[in-house]
Amino acid sequence: MVTIAAIIYEPGSTNKNKTGSWRTFRPILDNKKCIKCENCYIFCPEGTIYEDKNGDFKINYDYCKGCLICVNECPVNALTSTREEK
Amino acid sequence: MMDKKQFPREEYFAPGHRGCAGCGASIVARMALKTTGRDTIVVNSTSCLEVFTTPYPESAWRVPWIHTAFECGGAVASGIERAIKALKKRGKYKDRKLVVMPIIGDGGTADIGFQALSGALERGHDIVYIMYDNEAYMNTGVQRSSSTPLFASATTAPAGKVSKGEDNPKKDMAMIAAAHGIPYVATACISYPEDFMRKVKKASDIEGPTFIHVLQPCTIGWGYSTENTIKIGRLAVETGLFPLYEIENGEFKITYKPAKRKPLKEYIRMQKRYRHLTDEDIEILQKHIDEKCRLLGLE
Amino acid sequence: MEKIDIITGTTAAAMAAKLSNVEVIAAYPITPQSHCVEALAKYVADGELDAEFVKVESEHSAMATCIGASATGVRTFTATASQGLALMHEMLYIASGMRLPIVMLNTNRALSAPINIWCDQQDSIAERDSGWIQIYAEDNQETLDSVVQAFKIAEDEEVLLPVMVNIDGFILTHTVEPVAIPDEEKVREYLGIYEPKHAYLDPDRPITQGPVGVPECYMETRKDLNDAIEGSREVIKRVNEEYYKLFNRKYGNGLVEGYNLEDADTVLVAMGSVCGTIKYVINELKEKGKNVGLLRIRTYRPFPKEDVVEMLKDANNVAVLDKNISLGFNMGALGIDVSSVLKNKKVCNYIVGLGGRDITPQDIEEIISHVEGAKDGETKWINLKE
Ligand SMILES: Cc1ncc(C[n+]2csc(CCOP(=O)(O)OP(=O)(O)O)c2C)c(N)n1
Ligand code: SF4
Ligand code: SF4
Ligand SMILES: [Mg+2]
């Protein structure tokens, strides 16, 4: 059933849509090299890079579309990319 | 190494949206909402951002959001702002400042929504109007807007045997907004998050209409590979093509000055929309920029 | 206590909006509506009405501003006419599609070209399919009462649709009549405060309004909308009765009003102020021993199909008057609608009063004698100059 006026009452519900399937290249983050500059975190168009409990940046591959902005913007090459195995 | 968190961790713009990989418009929305937080009401006009974030029954927005049509972002925001005032009279939102934030494309701002924008600015509504500029009508297939720069190829201003693409220079929306005498106007670029977010914060703290023109490279429309979105935005600023400034209560201030301006060619040669240009054409554009930078004191 | 004021239709509408405690008004001047927004601006300026008055730069923005305000959850009002209504066209569909109970006064005026500021009903008829409930008032008292009722109908949870109250330009907008002004407290108590359960822009309950209606949902939203306006007939009737109990005035059953229909072989069907002229002619004819009836369509959308069939069941000559013309069909909209619901009955259509052309009692008599001798389906333009 469609809601009245097609109003969406569930905020942020695109998170049901796992855009990770779009990826052809996978960014890989090496926390040992990371200096926590937050570049990858703030530039990600998906908000898919997050800080875990230990303060390490992680990539949520459920949503990462593989644009590789993060790889390009990491000042210390802590991010690299590899072709996605299908 | 950073020892304190630079950027807020709250996410009000959810993943799973259908923006292209590397989309700069998503970055605008994400950064803006990290700044203004949960007490923000977003208005979109018909555009890429609107379409790719709200395919029923899914929404990427975790704040109240509304879209009505293409040309009325300013007017819809005006109504919301006044309704909030009315609700405050009823006792709602006591001591809370809600940020009404239209995030509207260059087409929805500089072209079809120009009148509604001007009305909203002139009437003094307390809004933070963000013009996200990808320099064409991306949602409908990269047609030119009045914000498309000189010599860029767009589908309704294509480069061809006798055409160099867009034949008019980019409309200067920040200066037009400033001419309304509003308290705060700024330019920004997603490649400079601290600068952009500081400006959004400032705008949202100011009572009255504020306008931020933010440049947002677009992989599809500009023709570059997805990882270069930030790099290209940075080049737009480093070349002096898109100067970052703010005008607060009429006072103009450059907020970022490139140490030494990079040659425009570096920026141009990364994008397919300019691939028809000869070195001489680029020289013409370079002269335009040099002149503008001289006027703004960006020498 | 009610008091009587001698006022124009535009003032009556403005007073009704004030009585209804509107919270946001956004409107743009246009003849013959302007006195309505001027009056509202003055109420606000004098502190008599504590509303936000948004001085928008166009009618498109007027409706967009009302949509923004209504979607935030407050009572909103606007007024327009003709070119202004046409400029709003895009936003009218959005207001109804978003299920926002905005109330609007439309002062009926012809559409350009050539430009003409005088009355006909082409402007609102052109918005027939926009999902707005359309009420046509006959006089200034009904204008006031209809605007108040419009809020009650629009905000009813079974309806949640915008309502347009139409009054004939100049004929009602610029003519003073005695109008009973209901007690403000009583009206406010009757309407209560608008507190929507479905549409609000509230950071404590973030929702997304106006998303992309993908093919998997679009048709269902249209069906919902259709169901809502279909269902609104009952609400309109109920409000008409409630209002009668509280304020002692009613307008037929809310949808239609019959006048002298009993034993009337010939019946005129019309909307708006011309019904006053028709009633006058009917009374005159009655004195001469001739029985003619009137079926006044008060609510044009939703169209009172069943009432039209029922109330015209004994008529043999049905003359439908239209202050509009469906170009390419050589009939007016009301004529087309009435013909489509009446089976096996003579229905003729009369195009009258376009762009301010007078409709005199003689014209009405001409229509009556024409329809009695006409064949089914004839269309005649009345009072055309050679
Ligand atoms: C009145 C009207 N005219 C045209 C359109 C088609 N249209 C929808 S979005 C759009 C372009 C949007 O451009 P812009 O504001 O720059 O946003 P972008 O998609 O580039 O982010 C156009 C032309 C429309 N929806 N409404
Ligand atoms: S960009 Fe590189 S250094 Fe900076 S936070 Fe990400 S991985 Fe770490
Ligand atoms: S076309 Fe451009 S602006 Fe639109 S979603 Fe793709 S990258 Fe973003
Ligand atoms: Mg654009």
Residues of chain C with pLDDT under 70: none
**A44 CB near ligand 2 (under 6 Å):** no
Instruction: Report which residue type is found at B223.
Output: G
Q: What is the pLDDT of residues C288-306, one digit of tens each?
A: 999 999 999 999 999 999 9
Q: Confidence band (pLDDT; 50, 70, 90) for B218?
A: very high
Using the predicted structure, report yes or no on whether residue B1 has a pLDDT greater than 70.
no
Atom of ligand 3 lying closest to residue B218 CA: 2
DSSP string, A17-51: S-GGGG-SEEEEE-TTT-----HHHHH-TT--EEE
CA of B143 to the centre of ligand 3 (A): 13
CA of A44 to the centre of ligand 4 (A): 20
Residues 6 or more apart in contact with residue C223 via CB below 8 angstroms: none
Q: What is the pLDDT of residues A8-20, one digit of tens each?
A: 999 999 999 999 9
Using the predicted structure, report yes or no on whether residue A85 has a pLDDT greater than 90.
no
Residues 9-38 of C with CB under 8 A from B: 23-24, 26
Which other chains touch chain A, taking contact as 3+ CB pairs less than 8 Å apart?
B, C
Using the predicted structure, report yes or no on whether residue B2 has a pLDDT greater than 50.
no
Q: What is the pLDDT of residues B132-151, one digit of tens each?
A: 999 999 999 999 999 999 99
Q: Confidence band (pLDDT; 50, 70, 90) for B4?
A: low
> Tell me, what's the pLDDT at C314?
96
Pick A18's closest partner by Cβ from B6, B16, B31: B16
Name every chain C residue with its beta carbon within 8 A of the beta carbon of B90.
193
Mean pLDDT, residues B202-207: 98
The candidate with the shortest Cα–Cα distance to A7, out of B130, B225, C342, C196, is C196
Count the domains in chain B: 1
Name every chain A residue with its beta carbon within 8 A of the beta carbon of B17.
14, 17, 19, 46
Pick A2's closest partner by Cβ from C160, C209, C221: C221
**A35 CB near ligand 2 (under 6 Å):** yes
- Would you say residue B67 lies in a domain? yes
- Would you say residue B1 lies in a domain? no
CA of A40 to the centre of ligand 2 (A): 5
> Tell me, what's the pLDDT at B292?
95
Beta-bridge mates of residue A28: A80
Using the predicted structure, report yes or no on whether residue B3 has a pLDDT greater than 90.
no
Average pLDDT, chain A: 97
Q: How far is CA B76 from CA A36, B68, B183, C66, in A?
A: 40, 8, 21, 8
Containing structural domain, residue B69: 9-296
Show the domains of chain C with their CATH numbers. Answer: 3-247 (3.40.50.970), 256-381 (3.40.50.920)
Burial, B94: exposed, middle or buried (Cβ in 10 Å; 0-12, 13-18, 19+)? exposed
ipTM of the complex model: 0.97
SS3 A76: coil
Using the predicted structure, report yes or no on whether residue B152 has a pLDDT greater than 60.
yes
Which DSSP state fits C139? S
The C-alpha of B46 sits at a distance from chain C's nearest C-alpha, in angstroms, of 10
Residue ranges with strand state E in C30-128: 52-54, 76-80, 103-108
Work out the number of other CB atoms within 10 angstroms of the CB of residue C47: 7
Atom of ligand 2 lying closest to residue A30 CA: 7
Show the domains of chain A with their CATH numbers. Answer: 31-86 (3.30.70.20)
Residues 6 or more apart in contact with residue C302 via CB below 8 angstroms: C133, C229, C230, C232, C233, C236, C255
Distance CA B104, CA B108 (A): 6
Which DSSP state fits C357? -
Residue C228 exposure: Cα atoms within 13 Å on the Cβ side = 29
Name every chain C residue with its beta carbon within 8 A of the beta carbon of A9.
207
We report the CATH number of the domain holding residue B47 as 3.40.50.970
